[in-house]
Amino acid sequence: MSADLLNALQDALPTLGQAVLVTVWLTVAGALLAVVVAILLGLMARLENIVLRGIARAVIEFFRGTSLVVQLFWLFFVLPIFGVEWPPMLVGILALGLNFGAYGAEVVRGSINAVPSGQWEATTALSMSSAQRLWRVIFPQAWALMIPSLTNLLIQLLKATAIVSFITLADLTHWIDKLRVGTGNTFFAYGVGLVLYFVIAYALTLLMNALEVHAKHKIGRGQSLREALSFRTRPPVDPVAATTADLEREGTR
């Protein structure tokens, strides 16, 4: 690596923090909106009410079936024609959240459907209301199932933030392009870009893995996060011995 490239990278570093902050903020805010949209549409898609279910299906298919770039341009360039004008950051968050929320809705619906039927039957036997059944029993189990797929969508969302440079936002991709112009070296600039995006994506993956461990532990399926971070394996539980011990305790009462 030549001294000129290093000097150019050093000169560009002061604006790197702001560029990374814009990208991370878009990713986090877009992901939060996407989760809300996904849960709302995913639950609506399971309703018996054909009107609400039809609305959910129409919204899901519309945002999944049209280009994210076109959606972004509609929000930023077309809506002002009708007197609706939003800041670029808000437009980016809305476009990312609505698009990926539509994809996430299918993850939510599929994960809820994947909860064993015995769990549904148990809640009925306990005379739980529909809200209690969903939020206290079904959704916690579905949440643990959907996190791996949501992790993939989160990484895709991070990479999709690159399109906001089309609407004047100085994100990481915009910074990389300025570095390319400043150095005149395409290989170097986009090589640095690959590394930066990978670091952010890997950090998000680790956070989602931790969330998955916590979610599984909450429903009794795995180690706690503290145990997982200590790299200690929990000894396997013998179900027969555990049942015998429970019976003995009951007998002594």
Domain count for the chain, please give it.
1
**Phi then psi dihedrals of residue 26, to 5 deg:** -60, -40
Q: Please count the other Cβ atoms lying within 10 Å of the Cβ belonging to residue 229.
A: 11
Give the pLDDT score at 234.
Answer: 56
In angstroms, the Cα distances linking 123 to 10, 116, 137, 144, 215 are 61, 12, 8, 19, 20
Output the pLDDT for position 163: 94
pLDDT at res. 235: 56
Q: Which domain holds residue 52?
A: 3-252
CA angle 151, 154, 155 (to 5 degrees): 90
Q: What is the CATH number of the domain that holds 148?
A: 1.10.3720.10
Answer for the pair 68, 160: CB distance below 8 angstroms, yes or no.
yes
Q: Cα 111–228–30 angle (5° rounding)?
A: 45
Three-state DSSP class for 244? helix
Instruction: Identify which of 42, 74, 75, 84 has the alpha carbon closest to the alpha carbon of residue 60.
Output: 42
- In our burial notation (b when 16+ CB lie closer than 10 A, e otherwise), range 110-146 reads ebbeebeeeeeeebeeeebeeeebbeebbbebbbbbb
163 DSSP 8-state letter: G
User: Token digits for 64?
Assistant: 């999944």
Confidence (pLDDT) at 241: 45
Divide the 253 residues of the chain into consecutive groups of 10 and give the mean pLDDT of each group. Answer: 74 85 96 97 93 95 95 96 94 97 96 89 84 88 94 96 92 90 86 94 95 89 74 52 43 48
The pTM score is 0.85
Q: What is the DSSP letter of 76?
A: I
Count other Cβ atoms within 10 Å, centred on residue 170: 16
CA 3, 9, 11, 13 torsion: positive or negative? negative
How many other C-beta atoms lie within 10 A of the C-beta of residue 186? 9
> Do residues 26 and 96 touch, judged by C-beta distance below 8 A?
yes
CA 205 to CA 151: how far, in whole Å? 7
